[in-house]
Homo-oligomer: A and B are copies of this chain.
Amino acid sequence: MSEHFADQLIAAIRAKKTPVCIGIDPVYDRLPADIADRQSMNDASDSTSAIDGILEFCRRVIKIVAPLVPAVKINSAFFEQYYWDGVEAYYDLVQEADAQSLIVIGDVKRADIGHSSTAYARAHLGDPTFTNLEDIVAPDAVTVNPYFGFDAVRPFVDICKADPNKGVFALVRTSNETSADVQGLRTENGQTVAERVAMLVNEWAGDDGLVGASGYSCIGAVVAPHNHEETVRLRELMPRSIFLVPGWGAQGRGAEDIAPCFRPDGTGAIINASRSVIYAHEDMKYIERFTSEWDRCIEQACKDFIRDVATVAKL
């Protein structure tokens, strides 16, 4: 595939008829009993055993959601806590999701000064120089933190220019409670820091060769809806960027909140749900229906998520 990342993502959304993404944030204590109870995987205090259980769970989640959704987002934090075995498992899952024809977003939130960020970009969007790692599959896109300004983002953008299959989502407005500590600071011209970052992202997104046939750039933005007016402004400030939208479900956001993330033609955003889908086997609504068939709980929660998003995303 040599297609441009944003075009691929838009095409995948059209093919699956839904602009959603499932976030893989695995927590050992929340694994379904039939995985956690197995002999070789029943010890949360043994990192090798725990990561085996997590890997098995995540592989099955990916298989369950693969026919339904265009993309998954794999959160590096939950793998890094199992040290190098966890990192190997992270790349195993990227490969698994890629093999299932999913678009894979590596949620790594990296940033550093130039030469360090180059190393991060190679690590997380893939480095073709290692002949012994020819089989390794890196994510199609990753999340990056804008606090350093463009220096930290440039090495990722350079990879996108060399390989248009690759993309970046810069954090603009995050979903957490204290996000306004920095992102909500009002600058002297009345805009917030998040709005100023949005303007920077829009500059970066418009650079030569980054905008695909769909009109969208390889440089997208992470935008969590906080209030309608702000989300509308961020959408206006970044017309070429696809929004990766966190905060659905477990974090309390719903259909009305996400509506302004889309452009009027229904494109321009992909909505992520993590815990509300992958831990559906803990939700009485699904347990009552499917009892211990945890895979059916997750499948149904994924379908319900797609249905709820469809009420506002007109494809």
Contacts and interface: CB of A to CB of B under 8 A. Distances in A.
Nearest to A190: B188
Nearest to A46: B132
Nearest to A171: B147
A95 interface: no
A183 interface: yes
A47 B133 CA distance: 7
Interface residues of A, number: 73
Nearest to A172: B147
A151 interface: yes
A48 B130 CA distance: 9
Interface of A: 25, 27, 44-50, 75, 77-78, 80-88, 91, 107, 109-117, 119-120, 122-124, 127, 129-133, 136, 145-152, 171, 174-183, 185-188, 190, 193, 196-197, 200, 246
Given A84-B88, A149-B176, A176-B151, A77 B120 contact: yes
Contacts of A110: 77, 109
Contact of A123 (B81, B123, B148, B183): B81
A152 B179 CA distance: 9
